[in-house]
Structure 1
């Protein structure tokens, strides 16, 4: 009798809203998709209390001993910056915080680690609508410009530095405010938890990359339970005669939540697509 194929073992890094959702999906739905939850790790280990002890990973130094096939990061970009190379030496790695790749050294190290270890660095598309079309246009040299506008209620932002000050001023003023407009790269360090969709767009369009893809971040109190993402694509062509496509995605969200409801399902679909593509970077 043929032996049943082994389930692909998946580890989760981060146990916030998204990590809890993915862990629950793996426990409930994973077996029928050939997946099993190997462990969950969190920067604050106390958050893992609801999980059975065998599923709690006390520290990342134990990861090489877990026989894990895929590691999914949904914690913070610093996790990939500090541990991504080691993870890729042992398993495929789904980078839920692609803002980490805005740092050129981190991007170089992770790409080299994927190639060296023969494992795949996966970048989920998250809330990026039209990702595959953008990727194809970029690959054929027909993508001239790409702009992503994200609009959320002020309480849904987790910002650093000058953007935190601009957000406070916007809240005091009470109306919609443009917090940032410019290249994606410098924005990633100031809003690492909020602009992963923009970072995914940079990976989808490497010819433009983090310096060429444009970002616009808007705080608007009139959308307390929505995350709105507008993607503007401009093709190569004569002035006024180039292809232009604009899509608007309205994602329901719990007031104050960083991640919208539909994005959780998108991450689960991305996880299901992580089946091993070799030593490369792959959108999923």
Structure 2
């Protein structure tokens, strides 16, 4: 591009987290970003560990120095606690793409982040991830036509990262050797038990605020017969007379490495979301 890096047309993007998704996004920004007007501003990790492949000048060790980086968009792909602890400060200085929207299952966190986005004039972005039909769900919700929404996620047992009693149930499922329903019920109580696995479900709650985290129904299934993919089923029910309401069901098989939390197609979806985060002037936006 003809403009230098200080040109207003450049958009500087910071990455929080350097797991598989963070590494992918950082590499994309370094290789494909410049022709698109995007620059990698920094990469930060919670652990302070090594950042292989990231130039030393782009390694941010102290998140308190974020305000001095000139960053325009901060992309979190680490853990919900990052948004809970630092989200308000980030939104005071930049747009914020929340890769772990399960953080919003905590009502106080959601309220604080929404308020910070309004005060700072920056956008809080929630990526669609693996949620197929997200825009249709949002439109149905806005029109008052959405009655129910259920998301079922099926993975091999080793692809789950669970907490508390749900982890104990997973251990029992592994011992059984068969297909086991780990959880079925409202989304909100599931989010803190599976913060790394149900972000796509959290995006559904954002897309359908009339249902929200209490109304969206979630189902987690451990199935050893699907070792190389993540299966997501979305069931949408419209309002109408019993037996005559609109019903739409989609089924998505996302190829994934054995034991991977994130499927291969999710990486491309996140990159598309980053490209869509061009500044919307405040509030919560799906991307």
With the length of structure 2 as denominator, give the TM-score of the two structures: 0.97
What is the RMSD of the two structures over their aligned residues, measured on CA atoms? 1.0
Number of corresponding residues: 283
Equivalent residue for 2:177, pick from 164, 174, 177: 174
Q: Which residue of structure 2 aligns with residue 149 of structure 1?
A: 152
1:115-138 Cα offsets, whole Å, 9 max, x none, are 000000000000000000000000
Name the residue aligned to 2:130. 127
**Alignment check: 8 A CA contact 1:72 1:93 kept:** yes
Q: Determine the structure 2 residue equivalent to 1:236.
A: 239
Aligned to 1:66: 69
Query: 1:220 maps to what in 2?
Result: 223
Residue 223 of structure 1 deviates from its aligned partner by 0.2
Q: Which residue of 2 aligns with 1:26?
A: 29
1:193 and 2:196 aligned: yes
* Alpha-carbon distance in 2 for matches of 1:164, 1:25: 34
| Structure 2, unpaired ranges of 5+ | none
Separation of aligned partners in 2, 1:51 and 1:29: 15
Partner residue in 1 for 2:84: 81
Q: Distance in 2 between matches of 1:47 and 1:187?
A: 32
- String of CA shifts for 1:36-62, please: whole Å, max 9, x gaps: 000000012223144221010001001
Partner of 1:104: 107
Structure 2 counterparts to residues 203-214 of structure 1, below 5 A: 203-214=206-217
Matches of 2:112 and 2:126, distance apart in 1: 15
- Asked if the contact 1:170/1:177 (under 8 Å) is kept, the reply is yes
Which residue number corresponds to residue 278 of structure 1?
A: 281
Q: Which residue of 2 aligns with 1:15?
A: 18
Matched, 1:269 2:272: yes
Tell me, in whole angstroms, the C-alpha distance in 2 between the residues paired with 1:3 and 1:163. Answer: 52
CA positional deviation for 1:3: 5.7
Q: Which residue of 2 aligns with 1:53?
A: 56
* 1:90 matches 2:115: no
Cα distance in 1 for partners of 2:228, 2:15 equals 27
Runs of 4+ residues deviating >2 angstroms? 2-6
Look up the SS of the partner of 1:45 in the other structure: coil
Who is 1:164 aligned against? 167
Unaligned runs of 5+ in 1: none
Secondary structure of residue in 1 paired with 2:30: helix
Deviations 1:232-251 (A, max 9, x none): 00000000000000000000
Matched residues in 1 for 2:10 and 2:281: separation? Answer: 19
Q: Is the CA contact 1:15–1:47 (under 8 Å) kept in the aligned structure 2?
A: no
